[in-house]
A = this chain, B = another copy of it.
Amino acid sequence: MEKQYNLSKNQKIILNLIVKSTEPLKAYSILYNVQKKGIKAPLQVYRALDKLVEIGKIHKIESRNAFIACQNSSCQISKATAFSICESCEKVSEISNSKLSKYLSNFTDEAGMKYNKYNLEFFGLCKKCKTS
């Protein structure tokens, strides 16, 4: 059974914006976009972002300091994330590949250590940018 979260007002506003966006959003760009809705300060944005990341509704693209909505139906996979990033147009997609996630979730290093979380970012050129 999936745990239910009742998102707060700010969390809903910000999640909505991110879900509607076709590209990763940066914190201050989010701020500018929600100021008319009463969210005035960076901290209000960062707090909502932190929570949304924590519950897996969004992910942070670390190399870009930007946030995208989780593409997985269940949004439970905040501990095992993989993205493809186009180095030309900056398009970002979440990769859902069960083989990959199994491989990485089960990965054991030389010292026999397993990890409870990972984040993987692939870089290259997307179809569009490759042909143009």
Q: Which of B103, B113, B122 contacts A118 (CB 8 A)?
A: B122
B107 lies within 8 A of A117 (CB):
no
When A119-B120, A122-B118 are in contact, do A97 and B113 touch as well, CB less than 8 Å? no
Copies in the complex: 2
Q: Which of B104, B110, B117, B122 contacts A117 (CB 8 A)?
A: B122
Asked if A95 lies at the interface with its beta carbon under 8 angstroms from chain B, I say yes
Bound state CA distance, A98 and B61, in angstroms?
A: 26
B95 lies within 8 A of A109 (CB):
yes
* Residue with the highest number of chain B CB atoms closer than 10 Å, among A62, A63, A97, A114: A62
Residues of B near A126 (CB, < 8 A) are 113
Residues of B near A122 (CB, < 8 A) are 107, 109, 115, 117-118
Q: List 27 A-B contacts (CB under 8 A).
A: A62-B62, A62-B63, A62-B121, A84-B109, A87-B117, A95-B109, A97-B109, A100-B107, A103-B103, A104-B120, A107-B122, A113-B126, A113-B127, A115-B122, A115-B123, A115-B124, A116-B123, A117-B122, A117-B124, A118-B120, A118-B121, A118-B123, A119-B120, A119-B121, A119-B123, A120-B120, A120-B121
A contacts, CB < 8 Å to B: 62-63, 84, 87, 95, 97, 100, 103-104, 107, 109-111, 113-124, 126-127
